[in-house]
Amino acid sequence: MSITTAMVKELREKTGVGIMDCKEALAATNGSIEEAQDYLRKKGLQAAAKRAERSTREGSVGSYIHGGGRLGVMIEVNCETDFVARTDDFQELVHDLAMQVAASNPLYPTRDNVPEDVVVKERQILEEQAQASGRPAQAIAKMVEGRLNKYFQEVCLLDQPFVKDPNMSVGDLITSKIAKTGENITVSRFVRFQLGEAL
C-alpha cells in the first residue's frame, strides 16, 4: 500500500511524532492509522526505557492556579537540556501536569516514591478485606494486586488517567513526550495548596 502525504499528516497531528517516524509506522502497519499509533506508542516505550537512566538536571518549575485563587499547584518537571526545557511542547507538558495535580490530588510522583511502610499497611488492609469475602486463596492474591494497582492509580501521578484524555495515563503522556523530544523527562516533586485545607 502506498503511504500518502495526507495519511502522514493525519498521523503526525494525532501523535506529534516526526514525519519520518510516521512514514515508518504507516509502512509497518499497511497504512492503518490506529495500528500506526500503537506502533509509535510501543516504539516510544522502548525509547523511554533506554533513556530512563539518563540524568535530568534541567527543566522547569511550573504553576497552576484554579478557582479564583482557591487552589494552586507548583511542580518541578525535569529533562536533560535547557534547550528542550524552553520548548513550547515541554512548557505545555509542565502546565498539563500542574493541572493534573490540581484536578486529581496525587500524593506521590511515582510508585517508587510511595514509602514502603505505606505500601505494606495498604496491602494488609486489602488482604483483610479480601479474606473477609470468603474467596479462595488464589482469588484473594489477585484481588489484592488489583486493588493495590487501583490504589496506586489514585495516589501516584504517573499512574493516574490523564484529565485531558482518560484513555491514557499520565505516564503514557510523559512517554510520548520522551519519544518526541529524544530526552528523558521526570517529575521530581509537586505541592498542592487548597485554601483553608490546613485549618
Whether 160 and 79 map to the same domain: the answer is yes
Number of domains within the chain: 3
Whether 27 and 104 map to the same domain: the answer is no
Whether 71 and 106 map to the same domain: the answer is yes
Whether 175 and 91 map to the same domain: the answer is yes
Query: Cell 488489583 identifies what position?
Result: 146
| Reduced 3-state DSSP string for 10-59 | HHHHHHCCCHHHHHHHHHHCCCCHHHHHHHHHHHHHHHHHHHCCCCCCEE
Mean pLDDT, residues 70-93 = 94
Whether 72 and 88 map to the same domain: the answer is yes
53, 147, 160, 170 from 153: Cα distances, Å: 24, 10, 5, 10
Whether 94 and 168 map to the same domain: the answer is yes
pLDDT number for residue 15? 67
Of 69, 122, 96, the residue nearest 187 (C-alpha): 96
CATH code for position 19: 1.10.8.10
| 64 belongs to a structural domain | yes
Whether 139 and 164 map to the same domain: the answer is no
| 199 belongs to a structural domain | no
Domain range holding 130?
115-154
pLDDT in tens, 9-43: 887 777 666 677 778 888 888 888 888 877 777 77
| 12 belongs to a structural domain | yes
Q: Is the entire prediction scored with pTM above 0.95? A: no
